[in-house]
Amino acid sequence: MEKALKHVTKASSKERLQMLYWLKSEQLTSRQAIAERLGRDQATITRWMRKYKDGGREGLISVKS
């Protein structure tokens, strides 16, 4: 996970992987804490978590343009 964080170039993907890292390492466990740390709304964190559940890591970092 740490390697993936270092190699990601898009800021949006980096935020999403950072969220995943915090969850997996149990540094932050609540949506509210993650949202506050990233400066995002809790609904955004919930949406990202759903994307991860549905599509795994690739689904999480894929950003539609």
Distance CA 42, CA 64 (A): 20
Q: How many CA atoms lie within 13 A of 31 on its CB side?
A: 10
pLDDT digit string (tens) for the chain, length 65 residues? 656 655 566 778 889 999 999 999 999 999 999 999 999 999 999 999 999 999 999 999 887 76
Q: What is the pLDDT of residue 45?
A: 96
Q: What is the pLDDT of residue 51?
A: 95
Q: What is the pLDDT of residue 62?
A: 85
Count of other CB atoms within 10 angstroms of residue 17: 22
**N-to-C CA span, the chain:** 25
Q: What is the pLDDT of residue 4?
A: 63
3-class SS of residue 29: coil
